[in-house]
């Protein structure tokens, strides 16, 4: 038996507020002055003082208190601020008695130009520049908007009042209940009280907006966008209206607020696209509106799936919230699973579960390296909390939920979720609260399996070795370098079927309990059939060969599984990378387009690992040879009514063939671009994007200038941002320098400036990191505080040469607080892996190509 691992205990050293005084209700008034990027606030907080105390500590950051009082207590407390911990401590000479009190604070604060706290997004309109205001408070920036107990476990209700220009639309979590005109063109808008909720879910927005809405199940569902964009918001409104009743049914609880708005902001962040504020989901426009001229099929699906994700949070996250950031995955892992589940219900033709397999693959990349962490992981302070929004939390999280759902069955799983939501509504939880309800709802206990996969990092490796009587299954640990980390032990639920899908066996395999599965002779077994399990499978050579020979007979999901496992096993050296290369020879227009898309991605990834090596040209030739016949079937121009998955595949194929320097594709892309410049209607949105991808990558100075002119001339905010980012993706180093220089100027929309720098890092990570280091202060002002610690590591992570690591460390020492360096560790591990693959595995590819190219 494995050692049973118990749930992580609360870390005593967490940086949190002292208990003893808790808020019950906040009555908050905000008076923004958008032109001055400043606001005044006034808050009355109803407090429950548990024991008499001389000091009250709460969170506040970048706020200036102008008046502090407790009505009924004549003493004015002295206030000290702690900038590092973002707290304010009120000290009293005589103790404040136990019981109810009210704390009144008047203060001023700042409006920033990046998505943290209270922030502004500027955009151009036909009648000049406009400024819209929003708030973004997760993970811990409510303290920049009001003095408060800014921890997810401390819930209270809020009533917000805002004093705003009467002509603008003000929004919050709840509907406005009263609007009073004031002198000077202002109005006071009072919003209905919220239910008890965590501070990170509060929302305020203000601007020259339009709202479209529909009523569903008594809920007023709306989309709020800048004036003129209402038509582009219809798709997402319909999606929300479709999803809401389905979620009410799934969770077994009615949507608890009177309205749900989806609010769009013109801009972008390097780190998130949308935020689940209760009753007022915020999304950057790219995740919300669709412009028929430029939005692709992929954009449309992204809008749907993000909406599904943020709406799932309205229950799982907002109504029931994790107690502390250790259990962030309860929010993000669950919502990431639910986005596929809900999308699969309404759009099975998109094959969302195949996307979930790809998401699992992303997580496994990280989870196989140093710097990974368990899904449930101790979080010390709020800086660490922002680092927890990673692919372990999201994508491993969703994969484990999926695995457990498959294990207990859909119905039992839903019943457990319903019981969990009901038991903890308006409250807070830890991960074991979920396991408890699932255990009660299902025939078998899941806690052991769940603990194995959430409390230890890493990936089980199931080895499947055929012998005369059947299959011997053993379990070890899969690591990116094939060794080096401690072995792990998991109760892995394993599912075996034959190639044609007939179930053969299911049961547990763990390191201390190998299993022998008897098989009839001639049967070709497929382990992890359906790909529901979070583990890799290593077959003995002949078994792999038999499976590979039957590749076409496998389901698309299992084809993906085989491709992913064999590439990863080859990278890590468990088997030769040529096993994977053999599989790429199955590329054909007859495969499911979603499988071919993965194959295309995998070839592109290998190409980027080859960047600058002598073997790259031969690899590119192989890529062309493999994909050109598929593209010949798919063609440049879609047939009316074609499967939209082919549309996606076409874009991917064009992108890859462009990267592989396919002369016909590159030439045709330039020709179509030239035509597009004269007649923008000549390219539909999907082809427009594919063509821009290619010409931006292959741009010469003249093309780059044309793209630049397009960016300057674009009137749509969405389009402008996209075009500026293309300028950073050129391969020509001289053009990259021009793009970097541009990112220093105010010509580029503020939040897009870091995005240009990020785009240059694909080809030139070292240059990008050097540039960031040379302009630290500037980029610090352009990026949200919590995200700054991730930006530098992100630029470096795609590097293929370990030389950059020393630079990254120097950068980190200067710019990243010690508790917030986990992205640095993750980036170093990724770079080390890239370099190792180049050194050790690409020579295998070189050799293979000599016999298989031509």
Q: CA dist 34 to 78, 180, 498, 776, Å?
A: 31, 20, 64, 27
Q: 329 or 539: whose CB is closer to ligand BES? A: 329
Q: CA dist 634 to 264, 555, 628, 644, 758, Å?
A: 35, 21, 10, 12, 32
Q: 139 or 531: whose CB is closer to ligand BES? A: 139
DSSP 332: H
Q: Are 259 and 220 contacting, i.e. CB atoms less than 8 angstroms apart?
A: yes
CB atoms within 10 A of CB 708: 20
Question: Exactly one of 309, 360, 536, 688 binds ligand BES (CB under 6 A); which one?
Answer: 309
Question: Exactly one of 87, 139, 479, 644 binds ligand BES (CB under 6 A); which one?
Answer: 139
Span from 217-225, 229-237, 266-274, 480-488 in contact with ligand BES (CB under 6 A): 266-274
- Is 724 near ligand BES (CB under 6 A)? no
Q: Is the dihedral of CA 616, 617, 621, 622 positive or negative?
A: negative
CB of 216 to ligand BES, least distance (A): 22
**Using CB under 6 A, which residues numbered 518 to 547 contact ligand BES?**
none
**CA–CA distance, 371 with 376 (Å, rounded to integer):** 14
- Is 388 near Zn ion (CB under 5 A)? no
Q: Which of 186, 195, 144 is nearest to 165 (CA)?
A: 186
Number of residues located near ligand BES, criterion CB under 6 A: 17
Question: Exactly one of 62, 86, 138, 823 binds ligand BES (CB under 6 A); which one?
Answer: 138
CB of 352 to ligand BES, least distance (A): 12
Span from 174-182, 332-340, 449-457, 577-585 in contact with Zn ion (CB under 5 A): 332-340
**CA–CA distance, 60 with 46 (Å, rounded to integer):** 17
- When CB distances are held under 5 to 8 angstroms depending on the partner's kind, the choice from ligand BES, Zn ion, none that residue 139 binds is ligand BES
Tell me, letter by letter, the H, E, C secondary structure of 722-738: HHHHHHCCCCCHHHHHH
Q: Are 460 and 565 contacting, i.e. CB atoms less than 8 angstroms apart?
A: no
Longest dimension (CA), the chain: 90
Q: What is the DSSP string of 596-622?
A: HHHHHHHHHHHHHHTTTSTTHHHHHHH
Q: 81 or 271: whose CB is closer to ligand BES? A: 271
**Using CB under 6 A, which residues numbered 320 to 349 contact ligand BES?**
332, 335-336, 339
CB of 270 to Zn ion, least distance (A): 16
Question: Exactly one of 229, 276, 326, 439 binds ligand BES (CB under 6 A); which one?
Answer: 276
Question: Exactly one of 275, 562, 572, 609 binds ligand BES (CB under 6 A); which one?
Answer: 275
Span from 15-23, 97-105, 270-278, 437-445 in contact with ligand BES (CB under 6 A): 270-278
Question: Exactly one of 274, 366, 627, 657 binds ligand BES (CB under 6 A); which one?
Answer: 274
On the 0-12 / 13-18 / 19+ scale of CB atoms within 10 A, 822 is buried
- When CB distances are held under 5 to 8 angstroms depending on the partner's kind, the choice from ligand BES, Zn ion, none that residue 389 binds is ligand BES
**CA–CA distance, 141 with 150 (Å, rounded to integer):** 8
Mapping DSSP to helix (H, G, I), strand (E, B) and coil, where does residue 132 land? strand
CB of 380 to Zn ion, least distance (A): 22
Peptide bond into 139 cis (omega under 30): yes
Number of residues located near Zn ion, criterion CB under 5 A: 2
DSSP 484: S
- When CB distances are held under 5 to 8 angstroms depending on the partner's kind, the choice from ligand BES, Zn ion, none that residue 273 binds is ligand BES
Q: Is the dihedral of CA 102, 106, 111, 112 positive or negative?
A: negative
CB of 362 to ligand BES, least distance (A): 12
Say which residue the tokens 């980190």 belong to.
812
C-beta nearest to ligand BES: residue? 272
Long-range contact set of residues 550-555: C-beta below 8 Å, sequence gap at least 24: 550/499, 550/524, 551/583, 551/586, 552/586, 552/590, 552/591, 553/499, 553/500, 554/499, 554/526, 555/501, 555/530
- Binding to ligand BES by CB under 6 A, coded x per residue (else -) over 226-265, reads ----------------------------------------
CB of 306 to ligand BES, least distance (A): 4
Say which residue the tokens 């020579």 belong to.
843
Span from 103-111, 333-341, 374-382, 577-585 in contact with Zn ion (CB under 5 A): 333-341
Q: Are 4 and 435 contacting, i.e. CB atoms less than 8 angstroms apart?
A: no
Question: Exactly one of 272, 508, 636, 848 binds ligand BES (CB under 6 A); which one?
Answer: 272
Q: 235 or 329: whose CB is closer to Zn ion? A: 329
- Is 790 near ligand BES (CB under 6 A)? no
Q: Are 138 and 325 contacting, i.e. CB atoms less than 8 angstroms apart?
A: no
Question: Exactly one of 62, 310, 327, 697 binds ligand BES (CB under 6 A); which one?
Answer: 310
Question: Exactly one of 144, 313, 402, 672 binds ligand BES (CB under 6 A); which one?
Answer: 313
* Per annotation, catalytic residue among 310, 332, 604, 828: 310
- Is 150 near ligand BES (CB under 6 A)? no
CA 788 to chain centre: 16
Token pair recorded at residue 332:
């993000």
End-to-end CA distance of the chain: 54
CB of 30 to ligand BES, least distance (A): 21
Q: 61 or 466: whose CB is closer to ligand BES? A: 61
- Is 397 near ligand BES (CB under 6 A)? no
Say whether 138 is catalytic.
no
CB of 175 to ligand BES, least distance (A): 23
Radius of gyration, CA atoms only, the chain: 28
- Is 580 near ligand BES (CB under 6 A)? no
- Is 335 near Zn ion (CB under 5 A)? yes
- Is 273 near ligand BES (CB under 6 A)? yes
**CA–CA distance, 473 with 471 (Å, rounded to integer):** 6
CB of 670 to ligand BES, least distance (A): 33
**CA–CA distance, 791 with 809 (Å, rounded to integer):** 13
Mapping DSSP to helix (H, G, I), strand (E, B) and coil, where does residue 296 land? coil
- When CB distances are held under 5 to 8 angstroms depending on the partner's kind, the choice from ligand BES, Zn ion, none that residue 630 binds is none
Using CB under 5 A, list all residues that contact Zn ion. Answer: 332, 335
Using CB under 6 A, list all residues that contact ligand BES. Answer: 138-139, 271-276, 306, 309-310, 313, 332, 335-336, 339, 389
Q: Which residues are known to be catalytic? A: 310
């Amino acid at each position: 038996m494995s050692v049973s691992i118990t749930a992580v205990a609360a870390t005593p050293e967490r940086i949190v507020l002292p208990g003893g005084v808790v808020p019950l209700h906040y009555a908050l008034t905000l008076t923004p002055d958008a032109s001055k990027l400043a606001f005044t606030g006034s808050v009355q907080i109803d407090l429950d003082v548990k024991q008499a105390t001389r000091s009250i500590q709460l969170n506040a950051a970048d706020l200036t208190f102008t008046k502090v009082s407790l009505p009924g207590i004549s003493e004015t407390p002295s206030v000290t601020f702690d900038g590092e911990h973002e707290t304010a401590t009120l000290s009293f000479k005589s103790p404040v008695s136990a019981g109810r009190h009210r704390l009144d604070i008047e203060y001023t604060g700042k409006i920033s130009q990046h998505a943290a706290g209270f922030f502004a997004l500027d955009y151009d309109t036909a009648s000049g520049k406009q400024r819209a205001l929003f708030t973004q408070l997760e993970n811990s920036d409510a303290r920049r908007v009001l003095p408060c107990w800014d921890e997810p476990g401390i819930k209270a209700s809020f009533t917000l009042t805002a004093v705003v220009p009467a002509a603008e639309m003000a929004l919050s979590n709840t509907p406005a209940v009263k609007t009073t005109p004031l002198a000077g063109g202002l109005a006071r808008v009072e919003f209905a009280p919220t239910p008890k909720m965590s501070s990170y879910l509060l929302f305020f927005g203000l601007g020259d907006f339009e709202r479209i809405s529909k009523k569903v199940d008594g809920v007023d569902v709306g989309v709020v966008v800048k004036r003129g964009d209402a038509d582009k918001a219809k798709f997402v409104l319909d999606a929300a209206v479709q999803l809401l009743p389905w979620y009410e049914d799934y969770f077994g609880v009615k949507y608890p607020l009177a309205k749900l708005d989806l609010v769009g902001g013109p801009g972008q962040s390097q780190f998130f696209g949308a935020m689940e504020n209760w009753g007022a989901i915020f999304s950057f426009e790219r995740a919300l509106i669709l412009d028929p001229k430029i939005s692709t099929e992929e954009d449309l699906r992204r809008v749907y799936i993000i909406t599904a994700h943020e709406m799932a949070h309205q229950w799982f996250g907002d109504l029931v919230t994790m107690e502390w950031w250790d259990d962030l995955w309860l929010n993000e892992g669950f919502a990431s699973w639910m986005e596929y589940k809900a999308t699969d219900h309404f759009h099975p033709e998109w094959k969302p579960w195949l996307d979930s397999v790809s998401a699992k693959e992303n997580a496994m990349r990280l989870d196989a390296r140093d710097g990974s962490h368990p899904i449930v992981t101790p979080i010390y302070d709020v800086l660490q909390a922002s680092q927890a929004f990673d692919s372990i939390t999201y994508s491993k999280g969703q994969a484990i939920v999926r695995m457990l759902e498959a294990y207990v069955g859909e119905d039992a799983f839903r019943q457990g979720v319903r019981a969990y939501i009901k038991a903890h509504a308006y409250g807070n939880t830890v991960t074991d609260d979920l396991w408890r309800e699932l255990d009660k709802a299902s025939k078998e206990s899941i806690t052991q399996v769940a603990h194995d996969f959430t409390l230890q990092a890493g990936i089980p490796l199931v080895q499947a070795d055929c012998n005369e009587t059947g299959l011997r299954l053993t379990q070890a640990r899969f690591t990116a370098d094939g060794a080096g980390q401690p072995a792990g032990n998991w109760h892995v639920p394993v599912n075996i079927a034959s190639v044609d899908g007939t179930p053969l066996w299911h049961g547990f395999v763990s390191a201390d309990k190998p299993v022998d599965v008897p098989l009839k002779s001639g049967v070709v077994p497929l382990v992890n059939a359906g790909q529901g399990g979070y583990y890799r499978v290593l077959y003995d050579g002949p078994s792999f060969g038999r499976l590979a020979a039957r590749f076409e007979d496998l389901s698309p999901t299992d084809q993906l599984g085989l491709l992913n496992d064999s590439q990863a096993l080859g990278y890590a050296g468990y088997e030769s990378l040529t096993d994977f290369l053999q599989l790429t020879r199955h590329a054909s227009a007859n495969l499911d387009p979603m499988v071919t898309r993965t194959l295309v991605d995998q070839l592109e990834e290998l190409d980027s690992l080859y960047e600058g090596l002598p073997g790259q040209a031969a690899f590119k030739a192989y890529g062309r040879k493999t994909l050109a016949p598929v593209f010949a079937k798919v063609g440049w121009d879609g047939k009316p009514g074609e499967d939209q998955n082919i549309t996606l595949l076409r874009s991917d194929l064009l992108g890859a063939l462009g990267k592989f320097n396919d002369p016909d594709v590159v030439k045709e892309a330039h020709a179509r671009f030239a035509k597009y410049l004269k007649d923008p209607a000549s390219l539909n949105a999907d082809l427009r994007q594919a063509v821009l991808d290619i010409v931006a990558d292959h741009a010469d100075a003249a093309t780059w200038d044309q793209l630049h002119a397009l960016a300057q001339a674009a009137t749509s905010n969405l389009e402008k941002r996209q075009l500026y980012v293309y300028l950073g993706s050129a391969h020509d180093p001289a053009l990259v320098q021009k793009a970097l220089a541009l990112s220093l100027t105010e010509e580029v929309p503020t939040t897009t400036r870091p995005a240009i720098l990020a785009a240059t890092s694909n080809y030139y990570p070292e240059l990008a990191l050097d540039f960031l280091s040379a302009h630290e202060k500037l980029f610090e002002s352009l990026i949200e505080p919590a995200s700054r610690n991730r930006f530098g590591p992100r630029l470096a992570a795609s590097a293929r040469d370990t030389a950059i690591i020393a630079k990254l460390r120097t950068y980190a020492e200067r710019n990243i607080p010690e508790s917030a360096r986990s992205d640095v560790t993750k980036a170093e591990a990724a770079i080390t892996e890239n370099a190792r693959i180049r050194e050790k595995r690409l020579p295998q590819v070189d050799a293979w190509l000599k016999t298989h190219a031509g």
